[in-house]
Amino acid sequence: NLEDSRFVESDLTAARFSGARLGMASFIKADLTGADFSQAHLERTNFIECQFKGVNFNGASMQQPIFQAPDLQGQDFSGMNLSMAQFREANLAACNFSGCNLVQTSFMEADLNQAVFDNANAGLAIFYGSNLRSASLRKVNLEQASMQSCQLHYADLTGSNMTQAQLGESECEGAVFAGADLNYADLSHCDLSNADMSDTKLFRANLHAVIQQGTLWGGAAKVMALGEDSKRLRAEQWKPRQGRGNNDADR
C-alpha cells in the first residue's frame, strides 16, 4: 500500500508497481522508464514531468489521475477507464484510446496526432486546442465535447455522436464526418475545406462563417442547419473608425 506516497526526482527505472495501491501518490520529475504499473490502483495519482519511456499501464485502474507534461507517445490505453483524467501539455501522439471511458477527460492542447479513439465514450471531454491530425475517432461518443480550435486535418470521425459538440474555429480540412450526428453542434468559423460531411445529421447545427470549399454534403441534412448570421458577421468584422488625431504642436 503506497497511498499518499511522494517520489520526488527518484530513479524508478524498471520499478515494479504491479497491483500496487497508489491513490493520491505523487511522482514528481521521477524517471519511470520501463516501470510496470499493470493492474495498479491510480486514484487521483499525480505524475508531474516524469519520464515514461516503456512504461506499462495495462489493466491499471485510473480514476482522475493528473499527467503534467508527459511524453506517452504510442502508449496503449485501450479499454481503460480514464474518466476525468487530466493530460496537460501531453504528447499522446499515436496513442490507442479505443474503447476507453473518457467521460470528462481533459486533453487540452495535447498532441494527439494519429491517436486512435474508435468506439470510445468521450462525452463532455475537453480537446480544446489539441492536435488531432489524422486521428481516428470512428463511432466515438463526443456528445457535448469541447473541440474548439483543434487541428482535425484528415481526422476520421465517421459515424460519431457529436450532438452539441463545440468545434468553433477548428481546422478540419480533409476530415471525414460521414454519417456523424452533429445535431445542435457548433461549427462556426470551421474550415471544412475538402471535408466529407456526407449523410451527417445537422438539425440546428451552427454553420456560421464556415469555409466549405470542396466540401462534400451529399445526403447531409444541411437544410436543417443554421446558416451564416449576417448580423453576427458584421459585428465580428466591425472595427473602430480611425479618427483624425489632434496634434497640439501643429496649432
| pLDDT greater than 70 at residue 247 | no
Residue 244's pLDDT is 61
Residue 70's pLDDT is 96
Distance (Å, whole) CA 31 – CA 44? 19
Distance (Å, whole) CA 172 – CA 192? 5
Distance (Å, whole) CA 187 – CA 226? 10
Residue 149 is placed in which grid cell? 480550435
Using 50, 70 and 90 to split pLDDT, how confident is the model at 143? Answer: very high
For the chain, the average pLDDT equals 94
Domains defined for the chain, CATH in brackets: 1-70 (2.160.20.80), 72-237 (2.160.20.80)
Residue 203's pLDDT is 98
Residue 134's pLDDT is 99
Instruction: Flag the least confident range among 45-59, 111-125, 191-205, 224-238.
Output: 224-238
Using 50, 70 and 90 to split pLDDT, how confident is the model at 248? Answer: low
Residue 4's pLDDT is 95
The CA-atom distances, in angstroms, between 98 and each of 94, 136, 138, 170, 172 are 11, 9, 9, 23, 21
pTM: 0.89
pLDDT digits 0-9 by tens, 148-170: 999 999 999 999 999 999 999 99
Residue 32's pLDDT is 98
In the predicted model, what is the mean pLDDT of residues 100-110? Answer: 97
Pinpoint the alpha helices (H) of 58-170: none
Closest by CA position to 211, among listed 241, 181, 191, 238: 191
